[in-house]
Amino acid sequence: MNFRGELVGMKACSPAIEWVQGRTEEQAWAECERPDWMIWLAARRGVRLELLVEAAIRCAQRVGTDVDWNTWADRWLSGVDRSAQSAAAMSERGWTLVELLWTDSPLVERRVSQTIYRAAAWAANAALAAAGEEETRRVMAGEASWAAAAEAAEVAEATKLSSLGADIVRNTIGYPFKAN
């Protein structure tokens, strides 16, 4: 079966299936500019959970501006603090900032800023899930990593940095995939 057929079988989104056309998996990985699609695939290929979370945090950090969240991200990435407590606090911070921006910003600024903080919140959710119970951590962290990358990609597209998220994922996860 070709890669496109595999994606259909894995129930990938229609835009990703259409984009792949006749590409091999290796070609698609090298050419893709959608970090959310890349994390989705890597999760289904069994890439280590910590790499998925790292990629999500790096994508969100690339577009994020909140000093406290970026400090937490640096501490998570360096291994200094991967506690569920700090991840939960940063997730809550991200979602709180999204809500505050809803009422306090002009529409265009609000949309980009909210998306930045949704990316941050989802990345922290991924770290929180990764610190959780073994049964749920893979699915929850994988999905939250995908969501963080999707939000960061939306910001990157709006700010003309679209390929950066994909490059971050490529550099963090690598190819061919190394499963757990």
Burial 72-94 (b: 16+ CB within 10 A, else e): bbeebbeeeebeeebbebbbebb
How does pLDDT run across 31-47, given as a tens digit for each residue? Answer: 998 888 898 899 889 88
Eight-class DSSP state of 131: T
144, β-bridge pairs: none
Highest mean pLDDT among 75-84, 85-94, 164-173 belongs to: 75-84
Are 63 and 156 in contact by the 8 Å Cβ rule? The answer is yes
- Separation of CA 49 from chain center: 12
Taking the C-alpha atoms of residue 47 and residue 50, their distance in angstroms, rounded to an integer, is 9
- Name the pTM for this structure: 0.80
- Reported confidence tier of residue 125, pLDDT bands at 50, 70, 90: confident
The domain ranges of the chain are 32-173
Q: Encode pLDDT of 136-165 as tens digits.
A: 565 676 677 767 777 777 776 665 555 677
What is the average pLDDT value for the chain, to the nearest integer? 81
- pLDDT of 110 strictly over 60: no
Adjacent-strand bridge partners of 47: 179
